[in-house]
Chain A
Amino acid sequence: MKRFVTKLMVTLIVFWLVAETLSRIVIDPVYSYVINTYNEKKGLNLHTLIHGNASDHADFLFVGSSRIPATINPDLMSTQLGGQSVIVAGRGYMTPGIHYQALKHKLHLFPDYLNGAVVLLGYDGRPVYPTPFAEEKLRVYEPPKWIGEPMPHLLLPHLSLSSLWEFLQVSPNSLGVKINLAAQFFSAAYRGSFFLNEKFNNRLNEPLLVDHNSSLVSEGGIRNDNMSRALELAKAMALTEAQSLKNSPSLTQAAIDTSAFANLFRLVTENGGRVFLYELPLHSIHAGLAKLPENQVSQKVFLHWLQQHQIPILNVSGFDYDDDDFPDAWHLAANRRDEFTQSLAQSLKMQPSEIRK
C-alpha cells in the first residue's frame, strides 16, 4: 500500500508540476491578455507575451456586460477621438462588484489611471447597477444552473493577495465559488483549465464553413445557429427580469446612494474621472423591459440622481436599427458595430470641451 500511495503521490505531483510549468509559460500570458478586459488590446505578439500589456491610463473606459464589446470597436473609437486610448472592459457576466474591484486594483497599480478619463456605461432604459453595494462588493455572478456555471475567473485578474483575502471574507458568494477562486489564484494549471475549456467550447466551436461576413456576433456574444432558440432564451431571461422588477421595491434616492452604481461613480470621480452613460441599441424584447410600469418610478428616481450628479446620457442619434440587427436577440451584429462606434464618437465629440483633449 505504501508503495502504491507513494507512486501515486509522486505521479500526481510530477503531473501537476509539469502542468503548472506549461501553464505559466504558455497559457498564462495569453490568458492574461485575453481575460483582463481592462488591458489595452495592442495585439498579441512576443513582446506582449513577455512584458504584458497592462495599460497605465485610460482616456475612455467602457464598462459593462458583453453588449459593450458588441457595440464598441476600440481602435475605431480611438481614431475617431484623435488617437486617445480607449479601453473596452465589457464582458459577459462581469458584475458591478468585479468592475469596481478592477478599477480599484488598477488605481492601486497606476494611481493616475482615471485622471481625466471618461468612464462610459451602457444604458438600457433601466437603472444601472441599482443593487446595494454591500451585496455587490466583490460578488461573482452565480447564474442559475440551467444557464451555466459561475465564472470567478473574471474577478481573478483584479485580485492581489490582500484583496483575495478580502474576497474570501466579504463576498456573499457560495463556499464553492470562493474555493474555486482561491484555487485559480494560486494554480496556473487550474485557472488555465477554465480558460482553455472556455476557448475550446466557444472560440474553437465556431463553424469553419460559415461565411465570416455573416452577422453573427463578433465578441462576447452568445453563439447560436438557431434564431428561434436564441429568442426563446431571450424571452425566458426577460420574463425572469420582469418578474424580478415586479418583486423589487421601487428605487429611492437613498437606495441609489448606496448602490453599486453610486460607489463606482464615487471611485471614478474621486480619482479624477467622469462618468457618462450611453444609450445601448436593444432588441425589442429587452427594450420592452424599460417600458414596464414597474420600471417607471425607479427610472424617474434614477434619472433625477443622474441629473444631480451631472451624469449625461449620450443619445446616439443617426444610428437606426431593428430586431434583425441582433442575431442572437441580445448583441448588436458585428457588421453594425463600426457604424454604432462612429455614431457614439460623434455624440462624445459634441460633449463640452473639457473632455476633448
Chain B
Amino acid sequence: MLYWFVLAKNLRAQNVLVVLASYVFYGWWDWRFLSLIFLSTVVDYLIGRGLSITRQKGKRKLLLLTSLVVNLGVLGYFKYFNFFIDNFHGAFQFFGADISTASLNIVLPVGISFYTFQTLSYSIDVYKGKFKPTRDFIAFAAFVSFFPQLVAGPIERATRLLPQFFAPRKFSYHQASEGSRQILLGLFKKTVIADNCAEYVNLIFNNHQQYGASTLILGAVFFSFQIYCDFSGYSDIAIGTARLFGFQLMQNFAFPYFSRDIAEFWRRWHISLSTWFRDYVYIPLGGSRGTMGTKVRNTFTVFALSGLWHGANWTFLIWGILHALFFLPLLLAGNNRRNLDVVGEGALIPAPADLLRVLGTFSLVTLALIMFRAESLSHALSYISGFFDLSILQIPRLLSVKMMLLFAFLLGLLGLEWLNRNGRHALDFQRPWGRVSRYTLYFLMSLSILWFRGNTQDFIYFQF
C-alpha cells in the first residue's frame, strides 16, 4: 500500500523502499551478512562508474578483474574454503605427508551464489559495452538486493532488471492478477508437493540400506519432484511477488520434465543460471566455435562449474560431469539444438516416441539427482547399487494413503503443466477456462495448502 499509494509518484522513494525492505528481509536471517551484500553493491557500483570514465584497455581490465576477485573471492571464501582445505589436506595425506591445516567454522550466507553472479553480470556487461553503467546508487542497490529474487533467484541480468528501476512503475491489474496466481502456484508446489516428497526422500535416503530397489527408485523419483517443485515453486513466488510490485523477472523454469533430451532439459531448467554460464563462461571460452575438442572442453567446463556452483562437495561436481556425459552424444552428433519447440505441440496426448524420450530424459535426470541429494560419493554409489536387486519387482514398502494422495497431487500438477506447457507457468492458461473452473481450481489449491501441506522444510536452494 505504501509502495503504490503513498510513493506512487516518487520513483526514487519507491526504490529506497525496495532497498530498505530487501535489507530488512535479508537481515532477518542474519544481519551480519548485510555487510557482504553491501560490499558487493558498493564495489560493483564503483567499478561501473570507473568503467564509464576509463577508456584505457589495461585499466578497464584491471577494474573488471577487481570485480571478479572481490565477488568470486567472497563467494570462494564462504562457500569453498573448507572444501579446498580438506581436499588439500587429503591429497597430502594420500602421498604420506601430514600437514596441519585449519578448517574454519564458516556459515554460508543465504543467497550468496545468486547475488554475486548477479552483480558480476553487471560488471561484465558494462565492461563489454553491452550496458551503460548507472550513476543512481539507490537503483543499483535495489537491483542487487531486490528481495523477491535475492536468496534463490532467478539470477537477473542488469540489462533486464536494472532499467526497470529507472522506469516509472504503474500498477497493472493484469500483472497483479498474474502475479497472485503465480504465488498461489508456487506455494502449492512448495508446501503440498515438495515438502511432502521431502518426508519420504529423507526417510529413504537416510535409511537406504533398509529398503528394496523399488522403494529406492521411488525415493529418487520423489527427490526429482521435490527439488523441482521446491526450486520452481520459489521462483514462482519470487516472480509473482515481483509482478505485484510492477517488475518483470525472467522465467526460470519452462516445464523441464517434458524435455526430450538433456540439451532441451538445460534450456528449461534453472534458465537464469544456465544462460549465465553460457554467456559468461561458455561463449568467452569459444562456445561452439572451434574444433570438436574445444566444444567438448567448453561443455565439460561449464557443467563442472555449474555443479560446483551448487555446493562444495564432490557429489555436486560429479552431478555436473554426469550431465556433461549425457550431453556429449548430442554434441558429437550435432543434435543439441533440436527440440526447440514444445513437446507435442498442439496435441493433447504426446506421440509415443516423444513420451519415451521424455521418460528417458527424466530417468537420466533422476539418476544424476541421486548424486545431488546424497551426502557423499559413497552414499550415492551405495544408493544406486541398491537398484540392482530382485526387490525392484516388489511394491514399495512405504505405500500409504498419503502417498497415493501425493501421487494424485503430482499427477494434477503435471496435468496442469502439460495443458499449459506453452505458457510461462502451470496457471498461465493457454486455452480459455471458464471463471467457475478457474476459481474452483484456485480454491482446491488453496485448500490443499491449508489442509495437506507437508511438514515445513527450508527451501533447498537457500543453501546455495
Contact = CB atoms under 8 A, between A and B. Distances in A.
Q: Do A and B come from one complex?
A: yes
Interface of A: 1, 3-4, 7-8, 11, 15, 18-19, 189, 192-193, 196-197, 200-201, 204-210, 225-226, 229
A1 B399 CA distance: 48
Contacts of A3: 173
B402 A201 contact: yes
In this complex, the interface size class of chain B, counting residues with CB under 8 Å from chain A, is 20 to 34
B180 A193 contact: no
A3 B173 CA distance: 8
Contact of B173 (A4, A196, A208, A209): A4
A204 B399 CA distance: 10
Interface string B156-169: 00000000000000
B447 A19 contact: yes
Q: Which of B177, B203, B401, B439 has the most CB of A within 10 A?
A: B401
A208 B404 CA distance: 10
23 contacts: A1-B5, A1-B171, A1-B173, A4-B177, A7-B177, A8-B180, A19-B450, A192-B451, A193-B451, A200-B405, A201-B199, A201-B454, A201-B455, A204-B401, A205-B403, A206-B400, A207-B397, A207-B399, A208-B399, A208-B401, A209-B397, A225-B398, A226-B207
A197 B452 contact: yes
Interface string B385-420: 000000000010111111101000000000000000
B171 A4 contact: yes
Nearest to A227: B210
B400 A204 contact: yes
A200 to B, nearest CB: 5
A229 B193 CA distance: 25
B274 interface: no
B397 A225 contact: yes
B401 A4 contact: no
A230 to B, nearest CB: 12
Interface of B: 4-5, 171, 173, 176-177, 180, 199, 203, 207, 210, 395, 397-403, 405, 439, 442-443, 446-447, 450-455
B450 A209 contact: no
Contacts of B442: 11
Contact of A18 (B180, B403, B443): B443
A192 B451 CA distance: 8
A193 B446 CA distance: 11
B402 to A, nearest CB: 4
Contacts of A1: 4-5, 171, 173, 176
Contacts of B173: 1, 3-4
Contact of A209 (B395, B447, B451): B395
B176 A4 contact: yes
B402 A204 contact: yes
Contacts of A208: 399-401
Nearest to A7: B177
Nearest to B456: A149
Nearest to B450: A193
Give the 10 A-B residue pairs with the shortest CB-CB distance, closest first.
Answer: A204-B402, A204-B401, A196-B451, A205-B402, A1-B171, A193-B450, A4-B176, A205-B400, A4-B173, A208-B399
Contacts of A4: 171, 173, 176-177
Q: Which of B399, B447, B450, B452 has the most CB of A within 10 A?
A: B450
B8 to A, nearest CB: 9
Contacts of B453: 197
Contacts of A19: 446-447, 450
Given A8-B180, A207-B397, A200 B451 contact: yes
A3 B180 CA distance: 14
Nearest to A8: B180
A209 B399 contact: yes
A30 to B, nearest CB: 13
Contacts of A207: 397-400
B443 A15 contact: yes
A17 to B, nearest CB: 11
A19 B399 CA distance: 29
Given A208-B401, A229-B207, 7 more contacts: A4-B177, A8-B180, A192-B451, A204-B400, A204-B405, A209-B395, A226-B207
